[in-house]
Structure 1
Amino acid sequence: MTTIGLGTPRGPEFVSPVPGHPAPAAPLPRAARRWPVAVILLSGLTGLAGAGGYMLGHGDTEPAPVIGSSPGLVAAAARALPGVVSVQVRTGSGGASGSGFVFDDRGHIVTNNHVVAGNGSVSVVGADGRRLVAEVVGTDPASDIAVLRVPSSAALQPLTAADPATTRVGEPVLAVGSPLGLSGTVTAGIISALDREVRLGGSARQTAVQTDASINPGNSGGPLVNARGEVVGVNTAIATLEGGGSIGIGFAVPIDRAGRVAAGIIGRG
């Protein structure tokens, strides 16, 4: 499969979490020096044709199943998929596509700011195939979070937020979204690091959840969920070698930050 038609994702350069850290003593091989690492945002460019409270509450604190617990991950996917949508933005010159997830029972959906930044008409496609016109309630470019709204009568299923205090490095996670336009895609990995410093939205560095779950253009705005199906973060960017795709280093906006930003946007809207 190729990424033809999805455009070239753009994003800020990777920022080392240790500023000024010395280079390795031995020089990299010539082939390696030709492939600098960068962080790219994950929306896919396409040629597209054609009031309640903050409901994303914390779940319980029971330990998540281990990575070898396939039934646990199957159950997590079953919980998460009904609350995940494909986000499509139509503009005069084409459009952008990404992912999102249902935030509350009022029809609010969280996605990435860079998915909807083109100021086009926005629609979402739910897990049941329904296409709904969506309104952009507001955006926060600095955190790369945006909130959409569809009619509450659509009765989309909100997801539950994980408790950040119980999230651990090494626990299994699933990335859920629409990479390369393939809606309802689930990929598995672990949490590789917490509080990783990168540039995700604005110019300032901020902390992110790092994962090795495979995420690619089109995953932007989709949830990273734990083995209980609770949202750990909002998939936003990957580190990639020049000209390449996912190399197993992805970044998500932590759900506590994303939730606060989303709740603030909703409150102002």
Structure 2
Amino acid sequence: MAGAATVHELTAAKPASSPVAATTASSTSSVADVVARAQPAVVDITVKGSSGEDEGSGVVIRSDGMILTNNHVLAAAGQDPAVTVTFSDGTRRSATVVGTAPGSDLAVVRVSGASRLTVATFGDSSALRTGDTVVALGSPLGLTGTVTEGIVSALHRQLTVDQTRYTNMIQTDAPLNEGNSGGALISANGQLVGINTAIATSGSGSTGSIGVGFAIPSNTAKSVAEALMAGH
């Protein structure tokens, strides 16, 4: 991104010790209803590896335990990370890495022995319009079950994060912070339209939300995820 802003991935090196749910107020009860349906498919992901510990979010995309997240959530912990998934009801399960796509910053992990999990419904991200209402779900700063609401600020954004070039990104003003990586961006009808991935900051040293966040479109995420899961 050009200008004064700096783009950062949304991982949190020091997750909060107490998982406290938080939501933003909404002017309509329908948003709460949408969140209630979508939230069981959003999980917290903690990874520990040779480079330390990190935390992010993920989205259940197959009822047998397949979970989509950002590659950088896993990569930050180094080689062969131990992955722990915490579901919305507080259940914790270990997971293994199914596949990674660093160029797309996407990855799939799998919780073994799972069945009949609530899955996210993919929406058509190509149908999004600037100004559409969206809701972000994830675990910013380790606060699992956090919900923030905003709009699609722009479409088809291009940006570079740590030398990786991204195109066709969704820009949103739904507040995102470290730990939202891999979480869900959902539409007003509860469909998954993006995977939250990065934020822009003012460049003054702060890494908090300034209302400029970016998500990988769901059409891209679905295609990459299907390729990673092929044969599993």
TM-score greater than 0.5 by the shorter chain: yes
Is contact 1:143–1:202 with CA below 8 Å preserved after alignment? Answer: no
Q: Does 1:88 align with 2:49?
A: no
Alpha carbons 2:137, 2:184 under 8 Å: kept: yes
CA distance in structure 1 between the partners assigned to 2:29 and 2:166 by the alignment: 37
Q: CA deviation at 1:93?
A: 5.4
Structure 2 counterpart of 1:229: 190
Greater CA drift, 144-153 or 68-77: 68-77
Cα gap change, 1:101 to 1:158, in 2 (>3 Å)? same
Map of 1:253 onto structure 2: 216
- 2:220 matched to 1:262? no
Specify which of 145, 153, 157 is matched with residue 184 of structure 1.
Answer: 145
Structure 1 distance, partners of 2:113, 2:171, is: 33
- Corresponding letter in the other structure for 1:194: L
Structure-2 residue corresponding to 1:207: 168
Any idea what SS the aligned residue of 2:164 has?
coil
Counterpart in 1 of 2:127?
166
Match of 1:122 in 2: 83
Tell me how far apart the structure 2 counterparts of residues 230 and 200 of structure 1 sit (CA, whole Å).
27
Q: CA RMSD in A?
A: 2.0
Per the TM alignment, residue 71 of structure 1 is displaced from its structure 2 partner at its CA by 1.8
Aligned to 2:20: none
Give, in whole Å, the separation in 1 of the partners of 2:176 and 2:161: 15
Q: TM-score, normalised by structure 2?
A: 0.88
Amino acid at match of 1:98: G
Equivalent residue pairs, number: 219
**Partner amino acid, structure 2, of 1:94:** G
* Structural mapping, 1:144-155, within 5 Å: 144-155=105-116
SS at match of 1:262: helix
Instruction: Give 1:267 shift.
Output: 0.7
Query: Does residue 198 in structure 1 map to residue 166 in structure 2?
Result: no
SS of 1:103's equivalent in the other structure is strand
The 8 Å contact of residues 182 and 196 in structure 2, kept in 1 or not, is answered as yes
Tell me what 2:28 maps to. Answer: 70
Which structure has greater strand proportion? 2
Give CA deviations for 1:184-228 in whole Å, capped at 9, x if unaligned. 000000010111111257633412000000000000000100111
- Partner deviation per Cα, 1:136-162 (whole Å, 9 max, x = no partner): 001001110000001253532100011
Q: Deviations over 1:6-43 (max 9, x none)?
A: xxxxxxxxx24xxxxxx8xxxxxxxxxxxx31100001
Going from structure 1 to structure 2, the CA distance change for 1:201 and 1:268 (only over 3 Å counts) comes to farther
Whether contact under 8 Å (1:144, 1:201) holds in the other structure is: no
2:12 & 2:47 partners in 1: Cα distance? 10
TM-superposition CA deviations, 1:149-181 (whole Å, max 9, x none): 012535321000112243211111110000000
Is 1:106 matched up with 2:64? yes
| TM-score, length of structure 1 as denominator length | 0.76
Structure 1 letter corresponding to 2:102: P
CA distance in 1, matches of 2:162, 2:185: 18
- Computing the radius of gyration from Cα coordinates, the structure with the larger value is 1
Sequence identity, in percent?
44
